[in-house]
Amino acid sequence: MDELQVLIKALEVSADNSILRSHVAKLQFEGERYEEAYENYKIIYDQENDLESLEGMLKSLLELEDYEEALEIVEDEIEERQNWAFGYKVLSECLYDEEEYEEAKTYYEKAVELDTNLRDEEFYEELLNHTGKEKVPLKVINFSAGEEIDGEFEKPKINFENVAGLEDVKESIRSNIIFPLQNPEIYRAYGKSAGGGILLYGPPGCGKTFISMATAGECNAHFVSISITDILDMYLGESEKNLHTLFETARLKAPSIIFIDEIDAIGSSRQGMKNQTSRTLTNQLLIELDSTRNNNENLLVIGATNMPWYVDSAIRRPGRFDRIQFIPPPDTAARIEILKLHLKDRPCEDIDYTFLAKKMKNYSGADIKGVCDFASDRAIKKAMKAGKIVPINTDDLLSGIRILKPSTIEWLKTAKNYATYSNQSGIYDEILEYFEKNK
Ligand code: ATP
């Protein structure tokens, strides 16, 4: 007689022993004797109304592919058992069987948000295939407040061709990010993992977000953008959960890029941010970044800041945002390209790009876009008067330049001070090089 047979015999003489019955049910389940397991779990559940035997019954029914019975049970129970992650997972599987894919997907995501151990990547892929979703909204539940924030994962349609200039940055991203993400097996062979963290810094509007999206586009990765202030705005204690859920979802969808804007806002060195919320959120971010505790392979986290001097030094330690990249204002050649990119779909005539670009020293990419929009408005006014299309010309763009001033000058002044007087471990060497080149 094997162990199970002995226990079944024992159960015949002590039918009320629910601990013994539970053990028998577990062994029967492990031995793939699902019908018997179900019967024993049911006997216990009818007496004790406990979660363990309820879940045992449901697991057995799923193995028996009796989705109808499982659905009936779970629908009866789910109202009473709040935030019952396993219940949502069962609901999801039953609805999948009924070809109710949208609902199945919603319940699956809910289950995983509540308990990440319920993750089942193959099942999720199936759900996504059936729902035809390329773009998957991430719902983050706030248990106490009952509110939600949305982060959107998407596959960006732009790539490096859409980013003007920044050739050195693209090259560095190609070798340090894209190559490892596309060839993780090579990295694994050398005991390294693709992914990790990189910090982009520079004046506002010079393409930190834009080049990050284009990086995801280059390697066909999912991309999600969040800003720290959005997360900090959440109710106390919820921010960390939101951050964790975001990372978990990104891991499920790997290769993924999480773009975190205003990373300085999380740093404890920023004045006024030394409060408890900021500290716990920083700790949560560090936990997520530390690959020792989490599988961060094929997950790249790009942090961005206009104020690198306020970024918490703990965030820059090895294994976290240990690569740091300056995104400078565009040089003359890049300004020509940005002008061309923003004017390519508008009617234009005899534009002297080089002349204009030379006049736009210290203009950011966003400033240049602003000048192009201004010039378009001016041409539209002329077109309305003339009653026909009037192309944008150099003069329209020049009047934009006269009105819209470059926005990076203040930033460059501050950066020069930090680079000159507090350049610990040479982190701002790239800024010094920039000033050297642009004397
Ligand atoms: P912030 O620090 O304010 O968040 P940022 O550095 O992230 O700014 P982006 O949002 O990436 O700047 O850039 C603003 C806009 O400027 C972009 O959407 C894009 O239209 C334009 N732009 C900036 N840099 C470039 C570039 N190198 N090539 C083409 N367009 C650019």
Q: Quote the ligand 1 centre to 68 CA distance (angstroms).
A: 53
pTM above 0.75, yes or no: no
Q: Quote the ligand 1 centre to 264 CA distance (angstroms).
A: 18
Q: What percent of the chain has pLDDT over 70?
A: 86
50 lies in the same domain as 171: no
Which atom of ligand 1 has the smallest separation from the CA of 305? 2
Q: Quote the ligand 1 centre to 177 CA distance (angstroms).
A: 20
| Total count of domains within the chain | 4
Q: Quote the ligand 1 centre to 304 CA distance (angstroms).
A: 12
Which atom of ligand 1 has the smallest separation from the CA of 202? 6
Q: Quote the ligand 1 centre to 206 CA distance (angstroms).
A: 5
In a domain, 358, yes or no: yes
Q: How confident is the model at residue 358 (pLDDT cuts 50, 70, 90)?
A: very high
In a domain, 139, yes or no: no
Q: Which residues line ligand 1 (CB under 6 A)?
A: 163-166, 204-210, 261, 304, 306, 330, 338, 341, 365-366, 369
Rounded Cα–Cα distance for residues 196 and 299 (Å) = 7
101 lies in the same domain as 84: yes
Pairing of strands 256-261, 222-227: parallel
Task: Answer yes or no: is pLDDT of 203 > 80.
Answer: yes
DSSP run (H or E) holding 378: helix 365-386
Residue among 227, 215, 218, 226 nearest 249 (CA):
226
212 lies in the same domain as 358: no
| Average pLDDT over every residue of 113-134 | 77
319 lies in the same domain as 338: no
Residue among 325, 232, 244 nearest 270 (CA):
232
- Look at 7-16, 45-54, 175-184, 279-288 and tell me which has the smallest mean pLDDT: 279-288
Return all residues near 131 (Cβ < 8 A) that are at least 6 apart: 101, 102, 105
Ligand 1 pocket check: which of 169, 170, 209 to mutate, most ligand atoms within 8 Å of Cβ? 209
Return all residues near 253 (Cβ < 8 A) that are at least 6 apart: 136, 153, 222
Q: Say what the pLDDT of residue 155 is.
A: 87
Range of the domain at 173: 160-324
Ligand 1, atom 15, lies closest to the CA of 366
Q: How confident is the model at residue 140 (pLDDT cuts 50, 70, 90)?
A: very low
- Classify 153 as helix, strand or coil: strand
Q: Quote the ligand 1 centre to 180 CA distance (angstroms).
A: 25
Q: Quote the ligand 1 centre to 369 CA distance (angstroms).
A: 9
In a domain, 284, yes or no: yes
Ligand 1, atom 9, lies closest to the CA of 207
In a domain, 297, yes or no: yes
Q: Quote the ligand 1 centre to 399 CA distance (angstroms).
A: 22
CATH code, 359: 1.10.8.60
DSSP run (H or E) holding 413: helix 409-421
Q: Quote the ligand 1 centre to 364 CA distance (angstroms).
A: 8
- Classify 134 as helix, strand or coil: coil
Q: Say what the pLDDT of residue 7 is.
A: 83
Q: Say what the pLDDT of residue 364 is.
A: 95
- Phi-psi label, residue 49: left if phi above 0, alpha if psi -120 to 50, beta otherwise: left
Q: Report angle CA 148, 85, 70 to the nearest 5 degrees.
A: 130
In a domain, 154, yes or no: no
Which atom of ligand 1 has the smallest separation from the CA of 163? 28
Which of residues 302, 324, 346 is at a domain's end? 324
CATH code, 194: 3.40.50.300
End-to-end CA distance of the chain: 89
168 lies in the same domain as 306: yes
Ligand 1, atom 31, lies closest to the CA of 365
Ligand 1 pocket check: which of 210, 310, 336, 341 to mutate, most ligand atoms within 8 Å of Cβ? 210
285 lies in the same domain as 174: yes
Q: Say what the pLDDT of residue 374 is.
A: 95
173 lies in the same domain as 112: no
Q: Quote the ligand 1 centre to 56 CA distance (angstroms).
A: 54
Q: Quote the ligand 1 centre to 340 CA distance (angstroms).
A: 15
Q: Quote the ligand 1 centre to 375 CA distance (angstroms).
A: 19
Which atom of ligand 1 has the smallest separation from the CA of 164? 28
In a domain, 434, yes or no: no
Q: Say what the pLDDT of residue 237 is.
A: 57
Which atom of ligand 1 has the smallest separation from the CA of 334? 27
| Average pLDDT over every residue of 140-151 | 38
Rounded Cα–Cα distance for residues 262 and 226 (Å) = 9
212 lies in the same domain as 87: no
- Classify 359 as helix, strand or coil: helix
CATH code, 96: 1.25.40.10
In DSSP notation, 104-170 reads HHHHHHHHHHH-GGG--HHHHHHHHHHHT-SSEEEEEE-TTT--EEEEEEB--S--GGGS-S-HHHH
Token pair of 174, please?
């190609």
Integer angstrom CA distances of residue 29 from 42, 45, 74, 121: 13, 16, 19, 23
Q: How confident is the model at residue 273 (pLDDT cuts 50, 70, 90)?
A: very low
Q: Say what the pLDDT of residue 234 is.
A: 56
Task: Answer yes or no: is pLDDT of 147 > 50.
Answer: no
280 lies in the same domain as 343: no
Q: How confident is the model at residue 194 (pLDDT cuts 50, 70, 90)?
A: low
* Length of the chain (residues): 439
Sign of CA dihedral 100, 103, 107, 110: positive
Which atom of ligand 1 has the smallest separation from the CA of 210? 11
Q: Say what the pLDDT of residue 142 is.
A: 35
318 lies in the same domain as 187: yes
Which atom of ligand 1 has the smallest separation from the CA of 366? 16
95 lies in the same domain as 50: no
Token pair of 18, please?
């629910």
| Average pLDDT over every residue of 351-371 | 95
305 lies in the same domain as 196: yes
Q: How many CB atoms lie within 10 A of CB 313?
A: 10
Ligand 1 pocket check: which of 206, 257, 339 to mutate, most ligand atoms within 8 Å of Cβ? 206
Rank 82-91, 186-195, 243-252, 318-327 by mean pLDDT and report only the highest: 82-91
